[in-house]
Amino acid sequence: MSVTVSIPSAFRRHTEGLDRFDASAANINELLDVLGNRFPELKPHLRDEQGNVRRFLNIYVNDEDIRFLDKDYKFAEGDDVTLVPSIAGG
C-alpha cells in the first residue's frame, strides 16, 4: 500500500528537509517502522521506549484523526498521512 506522509516543519531537520515522503505501508505500525528506518534521527520522536506511538504525536489520515482508533487501522492506496507533534507552551 502506497501512502504519502506530510512531514511538519518541526520534524524536517530529521528528514533531510523533506516535507513529503512516499512510503509503502499497510498500517501505522509499518509506516512508523519505514520512517524510523529511513530517518533514524526521527525514530525517537515517533515511538516511546516501549514501542508505543508517542503520546503527543497526532496522526491524521486524509484529515481524520486516527491516533485513538483501532491499532490495526489499514491504509487505503493513496492515503495522505499527516504527523502532527503537539507543541506545548504558554
Would you kindly state where each structural domain of the chain is located, as residue ranges?
Answer: 2-85
pLDDT single digits (tens) 6-64:
999 999 999 999 999 999 999 999 999 999 999 999 999 999 999 988 988 999 999 88
pTM: 0.88
Cβ proximity of 46 and 54 under 8 Å: yes
Residues 6+ apart with CB under 8 A from 73: 27, 28, 61, 66
**Cα torsion 60, 33, 12, 58: sign:** positive
CATH of region 2-85:
3.10.20.30
